Structures are given as C-alpha cells and as structure tokens.
Structure 1
Amino acid sequence: MDPLPTLISDLQTPCLLVDIDKVKRNCSRMIQRYSDLGVELRPHMKTHKTIEGGELMTNGTRRKIVVSTLAEAEFYADNGFDDIIYGKPVIESQLSRCKKLHEKCSKFHLMFDNEEAIYALERNPMKNKAWTVFLELDIGGKRTGVQWDGDRVVELARLATKAQSVEFLGIYTHSSVSYSLTSDKAVRSQAESDTKKILNVCERIQQAGIPVGVVGLGDTPCCSVSDISMAKLTEVHPGNFIFYDTQQCSIGSCEFDDIAVRVAARVISHKPEINQIVLDSGFVALSHDGLYCNLPNGIAVFQDHPELKLVNMSQEHGCVSVKSGQIDCSAYPLNSMLFIYPYHSCATAANHPVYYIHSGEKVIGVWKPVKGW
C-alpha cells in the first residue's frame, strides 16, 4: 500500500475528505444535548458505516446503535459493538443471518410492521433467547412502518407480546417529514408534533395492557434542534449529524461550518465555447441526490467559489459553469483542486471506498466503510 499523503493537495481525486475536528464537535454536541435532556442517544451508523465514526458517535462505548443493513450489523458486531437495532422491517429470508448476530451480540434487535414478521419469528425460534423486536410506526414519512393512528398498532403490539419466541420492547419511528422544511423553527414544531404522535401510540398500547419499554424517535433535523417535549422519549436515533451536509444546512439543522465532508476534485478540461469547466468528479463521486431540488448552486456548493454552479454530471465528469456571465477558465487552471460540499452526505459517502481524514490541511488517516447488504 502506498504511503498516506501528508497534505490534502497531494491526494488523488476524486476523494472524500472528512474534517475530524468538525466530526468530533458534531458528535460531542449531540451527545451533550441528549445527556442534558435525559434521553438515550442511539446513533444511526448509515451515514459513515465505519468503526471510527461509531466510536465517536457512541462516546467510546460501542453500545446502542442502529444500522441500515445486515452487512453493517455483522461488521459492527465483529468489531465489538453491541445493543444493535436492524433498522428495517425484517423478513424471513434474513433470519439465518439474524440468528448468528443474536449469538454474537448480547443484544440484537429487529423491527417489524406486519403480522407475517411475527409468524416468521415464531417459525424460526432461537434456542436460548427470544427475538427482541420494535414495532415501527409511520408518522408521516410514508415509508415502512404501520400507520400510527390506525387500529393495527395495538393489534400488532398484542400479537408480538403473545408470541412465544418474541419479546416486545417498544416502538420506533423515523418521521423524515422534517426534510421538507426550511427553518429551525419549523423543524422544532415538527419535532414536537412527531413526539406527540409517538407518545399517543405509546399511551394507546399501554391502555391495552401492553408494556412499552422503549419509545424511540428521530431524524437528524428534529434531533439537532430538539423541542423540549422530546425529553419524554426514551431514546433518539439520528445519524447524519456526524457529517451534516448542504441539505441539513438549508433545513436549519446546522450551520454551514458544521459540514464535515467535502469531495475533492480536479479540473480536467476547459470548455469556454460552452461556458464550462469540467471536473474529474461525476455522479459516482457525488451522487445524484438533490438533482431535482432546484437549488441556486445546483446539487453542490463549491468552497470559496460562490460564483460556480454544478450544471451536469455523467459517471466520471462534473460540468461546472458560473451563475451569471462568462466563465474565466484561467481562474481554474487545469489540475487545480476544487472542493465540493455535498447535498446529501450519506449518499455521497456511500460512493467512496475510503475516507481521507484531515485536521486543517494535514491528512492524518483513513476510514474504511463497510459495503454491501
């Protein structure tokens, strides 16, 4: 393996840069916020998928995390993490892998939003443990989860409680409605609304005589501004906050200076006849997330170059123009480096096999994320 370059300017491009000082600050702030509220922080690993990031998000405990894939769960379990939630409704074809994770971890939890999942767990009991499960709720995200205000909520909780091979732990939701908002005030109001909904579900289940041990809610916008009502929750599970991005900044979740990731790219072609320069960074390095959001800078923001706008991408080409007037190609020499703040850091990071960690201009290490499903 080649030695690690000393400076950012020595790196091959395109590549993903992670500002370790900002990452540590983002993690410390979120940990302190929920410590002050008396609510457990169970961070989601999906944004970075690395051991080092997990260490920082859990304050070194390697306990209480959420993952988005079984590959992530296996990766973290193999590296000493425990108390892991697999954050999607489980299906029967996954249970052989889930059994191995249950054997490896002292606590490995599943989510469900339908009767068939409980029947599948009953058909596949474990020898010395019960399957521990959370009922996922849809409180507006229109993704997975049982509708929060419907009758099936109590019915599903009762089914899980009566199952011989299952232990019902509580309820869990990721609203994501906050991602459509554009101010911290609106996000705070949404956090209050989401909290009221999940507490209403908790009350209805308890009134049916079913214990609810855990009430978990979260997305990065709501958890970053946190309405005081969230102190009534058991735990929260944001993930993007480790890196943030321009989307989070536009929502009001963070300040621009909190964004801890950039894509480094180099100028590879001048096209004055069509008013563009071309970078070596296409959608494989940046992702297409945000492409249809009609943002003033396109789907990315260029560091120190507010005049630039990313106008088109193919797999390995990024076409850049200016917001108005004629581009001065001489201002962006061939082989010069530009830095792009991504719209959605989760999607951008997922495209990179390694992250280059830096403090200031000095490269100090690499993180290698787990890949696959």
Structure 2
Amino acid sequence: MPPSLRPPQGSAWLGRRLEELPTPALAVAEGTARRNAERMLQRCRALGVRLRPHVKTHKTLVRMFDRLVGVRPTEPGALELARAVAQSAPRRVALVGVYAHCGDTYQCAGVPEVQAVARATAAALGRFVDMLRQAGVPCPEASMGSTPSCSHPVPEMGALTELHPGNYLFYDLQQLQLGSCAPQDVALRVLTRVLGHYPRRNQLLVDCGWAALSLHGQQQGQGPAGCAAVEGHPELRLVGLTQEHGLLEPVSGALDFDRFPVGSMLALIPFHACATAAMHPVYYVHDEGRVVALWHPVRGW
C-alpha cells in the first residue's frame, strides 16, 4: 500500500475524532471511567474499608458459593483447610484472610435482591472469620467482591477489611439490567460501521462480529440481541453475529435505510465489558469524542 494511503498507526490516532477510527474499535470515555473509579472509592471510604480493584479473575484459598470454587464457610472442611494453610508451612504459605465473591448477585432481579445477597454473604463471611479466630487461626483480612454488590453496598459490608469489584470501571449492559449503574455510567462502547443495506431482509450489515464483541449475553434467551444494545437506537436490535460481521434489524416495522448510510458509525453497548475488552488489543480512550490516550491491555494469565 502506498504510504499516502496507509492508515495512521499507534500514537498517530491521538487527537483524532472517534469518527475517524478504524472499526470495530473499543472506545472508553475517560471522564466516565474516572467518575466510576472515584465513586467506588468514596463508597469504600464511607464503609471504612479498603478498595482493592479486581483486575482479573482472583484466585484465593477460601471462596463462597461452591458452584464456583472453594468450600462453603459452614462446611467442616473450611476450618480444616484454613488451619492447614496457617499451620502446616507458615514460612512458605501464609493465610492472610478469606474472600467471598457474590456471584449470586448476577442472578438477581434488581437492587433489593442484590443487597439481600450481599448482606447474607457479609454476615456469613464474618461468622467464619470469628470461627477461625476462636480456633486460634489468625485471619487479618476479610474481603468480598462483585460489582453489583459493591455498587450498592450494605452497612454489613463495613465489618470487612476490603472490597474488590472489577467491572465497575467500565460497567456494561448487564450491570445496567441489574441496576448497578445508570446509562451515563457505562464508559465502554464498541464502534462499528454500516457495511451494507439489505432491503429484502430489512437488515443492516455492520463490521462488528463476535470477535469484537463476544457472545456473552445470548445465553439470556435473547440470542444475539442479548449481546449488545445499539446506543441511541432502541428501535434497532442485533439479530446475527458471525466472526467479523453483525446484522441489525428494526424491532418492528420497516427500516429507514436513509438514516444509516453505508459508512456511518454506530456504537454498541456490550453485555459484558470484561469479555468484550479481552477481544481488543487497544482501547481508544477519549474525552468528549477526541482520542486522548491508547491503553494496551496485558495479555495472558
């Protein structure tokens, strides 16, 4: 390709408008992400606990809800495990605390249910810490996470030493549905362009497929429509996803193709920001629609 026709590379995108970016592209609103971070820090300060941001899947020794990993705090094996860790090889392994992830909050229908799960989890964690201490097992830290529970914390969580949510920095469609955030709190979008019109099928073809979005959300029974919402266009829904392309069609009625010319850009709000972000090698961080930074995520585990 002649040099004059090559697209900008790397830092050359700084200062460009979002409309100039190659698509599909992951765009992060810097101001929104910053506000989300500050708000979570304020919640933790109000509770009197530390904030330890959850960057990736956190592996710990004792975990709540054995549908995931670990043991329930009410099982005899939990105390035995903690005692073994604390006493068997103290010079090599130290029990610094216990951790619970409120995974059940993702099955809740609204904030009251989320808070009920968080309250029960915090109480169970506290009882287990008391049991450890009564058994002579030091347990200085008690920690719990999940963005839904930490976005609407209950007073009982103040008895812990730290909280570590992860998704809250970006939020997403799933968190919107759970009541964790408001629409203006979602910092992440996948930008996509219209590639074609299909009047016979009443559909638009866009250049965002599952490789730029992920398939998370379709397990909610909505098919591809559960994977993302089209920002500013509630009349449109995602009805098809291949690796590199997506299909949009109206919820009802005929599609007005003149409103979506070929080459025009749309913004998708993904169902699960963590899964979507993992699909992209660079995040275009912007302030009011102008790129101010490029974030390159760490790959691997």
Q: TM-score range by the shorter chain?
A: over 0.9
Name the TM-score, length of structure 2 as normaliser: 0.92
- Indicate conservation of the 8 Å contact 1:277/1:320, yes or no: yes
Say if 2:264 is the partner of 1:336.
yes
Task: Identify the match of residue 230 of structure 2 among 273, 296, 302.
Answer: 302
Q: Structure 2 CA distance, aligned partners of 1:190 and 1:147?
A: 15
Structure 1 residue matching 2:102: 3-state secondary structure: coil
Q: Displacement, 1:141?
A: 6.0
Q: What TM-score comes out, normalization by structure 1 length? A: 0.75
Equivalent position to 2:133, from 198, 206, 210: 206
Shift of 1:295: 4.8
Deviation (angstroms), 1:299: 2.0
Equivalent runs, 1:287-326 vs 2, <5 Å: 287-295=214-222, 297-326=225-254
Q: CA RMSD in A?
A: 1.4
Pairs within 5 Å for 1:255-274: 255-274=182-201
Figure out how many residues of one structure are paired with residues of the other and give that number: 288
How far apart are the structure 1 equivalents of 2:256 and 2:144?
Answer: 49
The offset of 1:42, in angstroms, is 0.7
Give me the whole-angstrom Cα distance separating, in 1, the residues matched to 2:253 and 2:219: 23
Percent identity, aligned pairs only, is: 39
Alignment partner, residue 4 of structure 1: 13
Residue of structure 2 equivalent to 1:360: 288
Match of 2:54 among 11, 23, 44: 44
Partner of 1:268, secondary structure, is strand
Mapped partners of 2:242, 2:230: distance in 1: 18
**Aligned equivalents of 1:154, 1:285: Cα separation in 2:** 44
**Deviation at residue 14 of structure 1 after TM alignment:** 0.2
Query: Match of 1:156?
Result: 81
Contact 2:102/2:121, CA 8 A, preserved across alignment = yes
Q: Give unpaired runs (5+ residues) of structure 1.
A: 47-67, 69-86, 89-110, 112-134
CA contact (8 A) 1:141 1:176 kept: no
Q: SS at the partner of 1:147?
A: coil
Per the TM alignment, residue 255 of structure 1 is displaced from its structure 2 partner at its CA by 0.7
Structural mapping, 1:9-88, within 5 Å: 9-46=19-56, 68=57, 87-88=58-59
Checking the alignment, whether the CA contact within 8 Å between 1:145 and 1:173 is kept in structure 2 is no
Residue equivalent to 1:232 = 159
Counterpart for residue 63 of structure 2? 137
TM-superposed CA distance for 1:195, in Å, is 0.5
The code of the aligned residue for 1:327 comes to L
Alpha-carbon displacement from aligned partner over 1:18-61 (angstroms, at most 9, x marks no partner): 00000000000000110111101111113xxxxxxxxxxxxxxx
Shift of 1:174: 1.1
Residue 5 of structure 2: aligned partner? none
Q: Is the 8 A contact 2:192 2:266 kept in 1?
A: yes
Partner of 1:50: none
Following TM superposition, by how much is the alpha carbon of 1:211 offset from its aligned partner in structure 2, in angstroms?
Answer: 1.4
